[in-house]
Structure 1
């Protein structure tokens, strides 16, 4: 009877539960539609305002109004977007964070307005975090961890982090005790889906604007952004990326990454070693620990260059909250960089990496033509572009501003920049420039790196860490060129060296044949060809040794001198072997 009553009670409660779930789904759907409309309304207002001030007013002869109000308009737009992003959260925070890193294209007032989005994300109530974590781990938090701090150490757009202590069993298995547990925000999958739908709609609008579509494939960029976001909300993917990053720098004492506690990691919960230390932008803390912020800037830039050009696996979100400076326990003043948060990583394809290498070599050697070719190789500049005027502009740019740091550029008279813009503005604007998909995250990483290094050291010049790297690349290119030249010369010399034997073989076959005509004149001519061939071989060997010696004088002076000296032997043979001959 009790079982029957329980069954009846369950049957009676099931429609109510189903109705509650239906109401929740309906509420979520309505909330998603409202969120979608708010994003589109903001974008539409921004487009209309930009169209009116930047296109309509100049055509009506009122360009002064557009220019005089531009800074204030952009600042108001940035503030409205910041309010929207903080209110909505989700991917809007990510969009704002990306724009805050674009110090190269956005005014500092706007980037400063959006920079607070790195730390301004409101936290989720702990009870919601507890419920999600326990559902993912399958056990109560009290059984999963010895302790779990309900106050988050950090709150991000897609999740938040809490400090915890592993149980004795897990601590014995992993060798760790203190950990940081990242837990995703509730319903983040639905939020991401709504935000991506809105961004796809906005990208469709941009595709219809010719000035934008000629330079960037907005829908493709949104799809790449979508892929990155889906990877970022998969904590199993982030855990694998953390281990891969650690493997890349396993032999590098200046870099480390937290260990992953796989026993307490799922798709929506990630448990990592607690590596909290001095934030990279905490200059007071660095100096108190006896660490020079300028040294940190130099090492940070070098490590980021290694990620791009050596490992092809780049931390694409190197903002201050994701990088610590960890002093060594020895007390000898040593330290290393500790990276965290590997949800946003950039893979650098071979073609893009080769193009970036060419770009650095061209800039380091002030080669305007090489820079244009590198831009075409990367895909920023279409191959069909007419580049003669661009090369001239880059030559002028290199001559005046080449090698300057941001601090030095700030001291340059603005009229010089204005004069350059007037002279070459039309040339640059007319270029068929586009933004390749694979370059988006890399640009974010580079922008954040430059901004971070400049904040650590006001005199920081990005060319200081790039210069030795560029020098190594130039040496490698020179070595490859020397090897190519030497290889081609040796190949030609081999052909000429085999020529007498081939001629002798022909003579032998003629002597053994059934032909009865007189070959004495042919033999004399062939003997003359043999002598000429041997002299040609000597000449080629002389040239190969001489050029090879010259190229090797820099990296290997002893070997270069020997080759140049020995080259005199084939030279003497080439000059004097024909003396006295007919």
Structure 2
């Protein structure tokens, strides 16, 4: 890409944060066979939760038994237990998917609040390795929302998503998220509360409360769409001196719903991807001066 003014180049960086082209959500279960599958999957995930929690609790109790508080031996063993337990939790999150991956991502951001073994394990695996919904699922539900398949609506639609997150891929809500979110949140709550009763020092109920409040908003793509426009408006009102350097892709409201978000497509680079930012002809220090 040829070098251009700082303003026009920053438009590209800003677009990478907000997302890309239109996509579709995965439908709620009206098919009885899907409903049956959902009903059977929830107990399976609850069983995994219980088994993982019991395994982690036993590991801490047994491995640290009799070790002197403050000793180097206990510190070494605790590190090993933290690491094993983080890996067990990581495996649980990937198997259960959905809000469990969201939980893992939250943990990966909690420096100084949870043991570093958990933070590093979750951060290294949860942020860029999320599940992907199939193109067939996308087409099926896109038609249900819009009345046509993506190839009939868009001049170009890449069947391979450019990114995937815990609840959605650009911008596709993963299968049955709305159907299972409440049950999964309750199941996680049972495990967190049980572990807190067994180990009073293990108190992460606040994290569950935070997720319970934010999850419904994250599952409503119209909230995200409105926030992108509100963000630009806030910059114009409160930081007009840098507003011209900030851009969010336009929302196509006629092709968007609470579970379907269609936005202007723009190429860009992650805001922390210094190498690619420099390839765009932007010097990071120029960006750092915008405040």
Shift in CA distance, 256/197, structure 1 to aligned 2, threshold 3 Å: same
| Aligned partner (choices 249, 260, 284) of residue 269 of structure 1 | 260
Instruction: Kindly provide the CA deviation profile for residues 439-463 of structure 1, in whole angstroms up to 9, marking residues without a partner as x.
Output: xxxxxxxxxxxxxxxxxxxxxxxxx
Structure 1 residue 114 and structure 2 residue 122: aligned? Answer: yes
Q: What is the alpha-carbon distance in structure 1 between the residues aligned to residue 264 and residue 111 of structure 2?
A: 33
Shift of 1:24: 3.9
| Aligned partner (choices 231, 236, 249) of residue 258 of structure 1 | 249
Q: What is the alpha-carbon distance in structure 2 between the residues aligned to residue 99 and residue 295 of structure 1?
A: 32
Match of 1:211 in 2: 201
Structure 1 residue 223 and structure 2 residue 212: aligned? Answer: no
Match of 2:14 in 1: none
Match of 1:247 in 2: 233
Shift in CA distance, 266/102, structure 1 to aligned 2, threshold 3 Å: same
Task: Choose 1 or 2 for highest CA Rg.
Answer: 1
Match of 1:144 in 2: 153
Unaligned residue ranges in structure 2 (runs of 5+)? 1-29
**Alpha carbons 1:93, 1:117 under 8 Å: kept:** yes
Q: Greater RCO between the two (CA within 8 Å, min separation 6)?
A: 2
Which structure shows the higher strand fraction?
A: 1
Q: What is the alpha-carbon distance in structure 2 between the residues aligned to residue 35 and residue 223 of structure 1?
A: 20
**Alpha carbons 2:49, 2:191 under 8 Å: kept:** no
Shift of 1:105: 3.7
Q: Within 5 A, what are the aligned runs for 1:325-364?
A: none
**Secondary structure at the counterpart of residue 205 of structure 1:** helix
**Alpha carbons 2:63, 2:81 under 8 Å: kept:** no
Q: What is the alpha-carbon distance in structure 1 between the residues aligned to residue 67 and residue 77 of structure 2?
A: 13
**Alpha carbons 2:60, 2:81 under 8 Å: kept:** no
Q: What is the alpha-carbon distance in structure 2 between the residues aligned to residue 144 and residue 159 of structure 1?
A: 21
CA-atom RMSD, angstroms?
Answer: 2.7
**Secondary structure at the counterpart of residue 263 of structure 2:** strand
**Secondary structure at the counterpart of residue 112 of structure 2:** coil
TM-score (norm 1): 0.40
Shift of 1:294: 5.0
Match of 1:447 in 2: none
Structure 1 residue 46 and structure 2 residue 35: aligned? Answer: no
TM-score (norm 2): 0.77
Match of 1:417 in 2: none
Q: Within 5 A, what are the aligned runs for 1:385-464?
A: none
Unaligned residue ranges in structure 1 (runs of 5+)? 1-19, 162-181, 303-582
Shift in CA distance, 120/287, structure 1 to aligned 2, threshold 3 Å: same
Q: Within 5 A, what are the aligned runs for 1:21-420?
A: 21-53=31-63, 56-58=65-67, 63-106=71-114, 110-115=118-123, 116-161=125-170, 182-208=171-197, 209-212=199-202, 218=205, 221-250=207-236, 251=240, 252-293=243-284, 296=287, 299=290, 302=291
Shift in CA distance, 48/283, structure 1 to aligned 2, threshold 3 Å: same
Give every structure 1 segment of 4 or more consecutive aligned residues whose post-TM-superposition deviation is greater than 6 Å. Answer: none
**Equivalences, count:** 255
Instruction: Kindly provide the CA deviation profile for residues 348-371 of structure 1, in whole angstroms up to 9, marking residues without a partner as x.
Output: xxxxxxxxxxxxxxxxxxxxxxxx
Q: What is the alpha-carbon distance in structure 1 between the residues aligned to residue 36 and residue 156 of structure 2?
A: 37
Q: What is the alpha-carbon distance in structure 2 between the residues aligned to residue 99 and residue 297 of structure 1?
A: 28
Q: What is the alpha-carbon distance in structure 2 between the residues aligned to residue 109 and residue 34 of structure 1?
A: 27
Shift of 1:75: 2.0
Shift in CA distance, 298/103, structure 1 to aligned 2, threshold 3 Å: farther
**Secondary structure at the counterpart of residue 273 of structure 1:** coil
